[in-house]
Amino acid sequence: MSARELAELSGPAAAATLTADSIVVLPTGAVEHHGPHLPLATDLVMADGLSSRMVDAAAAEGLDVWRLPALAMTKSDEHAWAPGTFWLSADTLMAVLRDVGRSLAATPARTLVFYNGHGGNVAPLQVALRELRRLFGLRTFLIGVAVPSSPSELGLGIHGGWGETSLLAHLRPDLVDLSLASPAVPEHLAGFERIGFAGRPVQFGWLSDDFAAGDPAMLGVVGDPTGASAEEGATIADRLVADGVAALREIARFTHRSPA
């Protein structure tokens, strides 16, 4: 838990503490299928835990940054086939984000940062950046949890793979069961030069049960969690927190118009 939890202030304290320079961070996670070896709350645990460390580290440097409670259930319809996935429609999520922006605009703070741990949220959050800017005049930003892949994943370790499993083994080892993990890499996708996941020039629509690679028990996983470790997760977490603090430093001095 961060020492900079906005929701733990009283109303008058929040009004007196926040200023136009305050940065408010909203972690966005998900509650969705992550295979037999990881909890439904994987993305939520990552966004919540890493944002807490990031906000405290940034505040220790003197940045005026505060954290809202994490948004747990978001747009996870790519995993809707799997029991245990709790998701919001795109319309519902956008309505929630607009309401969060409206609520922040009623405080002295003018900057909202989404700290996102779930890939399915990227597109709606990018839309929300402009929506909240237009409606409420807020400065809006998106920081993503960039989880790395292992060589065995061929650049396709996007869900429940080595990086996420390592991070969870570090953040919440009690929720990880590596004895149930096996490779689930859709290797045929590596043969496409243009079509692929984020970062490729051609995106495609997909559901997490489209690929069915490897052990049927791993249906819905896209990656290879074998070889994941808490030690690797600690290294990944330290890098992500450092990257996030660096991003907050830039956000603090960012301006849309050139200084006079």
Q: For the CA atoms of 183, 236, 43, 6, what is the dihedral angle to 10 degrees? A: 170
Q: Is the pLDDT of residue 10 over 80?
A: yes
Contacts of 183 (CB under 8 A, 6+ apart): 152, 213, 214, 218, 224, 226
- Cα–Cα distance for residue pair 3/67, rounded to 1 Å: 9
Judge whether 141 lies within some domain. Answer: yes
Contacts of 204 (CB under 8 A, 6+ apart): 195, 196
Q: Tokens 């994941």 label which residue?
A: 228
Judge whether 104 lies within some domain. Answer: yes
pLDDT in tens, 81-116: 999 999 999 999 999 999 999 999 999 999 999 999
For residue 130, give the CATH number of its domain. 3.40.50.10310
Judge whether 258 lies within some domain. Answer: no
Judge whether 195 lies within some domain. Answer: yes
Contacts of 45 (CB under 8 A, 6+ apart): 29, 39, 117, 168, 171, 172, 175
Judge whether 36 lies within some domain. Answer: yes
Task: Tell me the pLDDT band of 199, cut-offs 50, 70 and 90.
Answer: confident
Q: In the chain, how many domains are there?
A: 1
Compute the average pLDDT of residues 158-185: 98
Q: What angle do CA 225, 222, 241 make, to 5 degrees?
A: 65
Q: Tokens 């489209």 label which residue?
A: 210
Judge whether 82 lies within some domain. Answer: yes
Judge whether 260 lies within some domain. Answer: no
pLDDT in tens, 239-253: 999 999 999 999 999
Judge whether 128 lies within some domain. Answer: yes
Element (H, E) at 135: helix 122-136
Domain span holding position 39: 6-253
